[in-house]
């Protein structure tokens, strides 16, 4: 009877782990949007910078052909577009840090867990031979407690908040990365809108 219960429990754990890996794979596949968004935003920033530099350096010769209010609005909109581009850069940097931290953590944890599993099996086999009960399960609370102890107080407070969210919201880290990529897209959208509005403003202000 105990063997059947252990088998059912083992099968449930294996199935849950596989499902979790597939769900994480879906989340990770959506992260490819972040680098592409950042690349396009960089191209747009370069184009806006070149256009603004050309317009400013040739302002004396171009000003007679445009209304002054149109020039002012165009420059303001270009500045807003550049600001949106820089905010997008911040989210791109944040997304990259999240990705690198996730990969590093997964690699180190997988290595540590693999070594632990090998030793755990040896201990459990030896315990069966001598008919003795041993506790080999990982003490997750101790792991997180020791991790928090070595952090500065502000980082420790933030880590505690994140830990609580992870306990209450499944796949919190993955969904946070997707939200960061989504914010990148919003900033890119505003960057394009402001740039197009600046061009339109110049077009309608031609004398």
Q: pLDDT tens digits, residue range 11-26?
A: 777 777 777 777 777 7
CA atoms within 13 A on the CB side of 148: 16
pLDDT for the residue numbered 10: 67
Question: Does the structure show a pLDDT above 70 at 135?
Answer: yes
183-197 average pLDDT score:
92
Question: Does the structure show a pLDDT above 80 at 179?
Answer: yes
pLDDT digits (tens, 9 = 90+) for 100-126: 877 787 788 778 777 777 777 777 777
Question: Does the structure show a pLDDT above 80 at 204?
Answer: yes
What is the percent of the chain with per-residue pLDDT over 70, rounded to a whole number? 87
CA atoms within 13 A on the CB side of 202: 19
pLDDT band at residue 51 using 50, 70 and 90 as cut-offs: confident
pTM (2 d.p.) = 0.72
Dihedral, CA of residue 124, residue 130, residue 133 and residue 137, to nearest 10 = -20
pLDDT for the residue numbered 100: 81
């Amino acid at each position: 009877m105990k063997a059947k219960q252990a088998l059912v429990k083992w099968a449930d754990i294996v199935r849950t782990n596989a499902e979790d890996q597939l769900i994480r794979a879906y989340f990770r596949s959506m992260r490819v949007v972040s680098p592409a968004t950042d690349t396009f935003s960089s191209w747009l920033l370069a184009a806006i910078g070149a256009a603004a530099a050309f317009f400013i350096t040739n302002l004396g010769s171009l000003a007679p052909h445009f209304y002054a209010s149109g020039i002012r609005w165009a420059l303001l909109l270009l500045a807003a577009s550049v600001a949106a581009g820089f905010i997008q850069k911040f989210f791109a940097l944040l997304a990259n840090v999240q990705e690198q931290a996730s990969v590093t953590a997964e690699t180190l944890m997988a290595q540590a867990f693999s070594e632990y599993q090998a030793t755990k099996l040896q201990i459990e086999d030896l315990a069966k031979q001598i008919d003795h009960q041993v506790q080999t399960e990982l003490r997750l609370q101790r792991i997180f407690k020791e991790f928090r102890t070595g952090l500065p107080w502000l980082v420790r407070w933030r880590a505690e908040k994140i830990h609580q969210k992870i306990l209450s919201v499944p796949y919190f880290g993955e969904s946070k990365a997707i939200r960061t990529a989504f914010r990148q897209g919003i900033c890119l959208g505003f960057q394009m809108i402001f740039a197009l509005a600046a061009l339109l403003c110049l077009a309608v202000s031609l004398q």
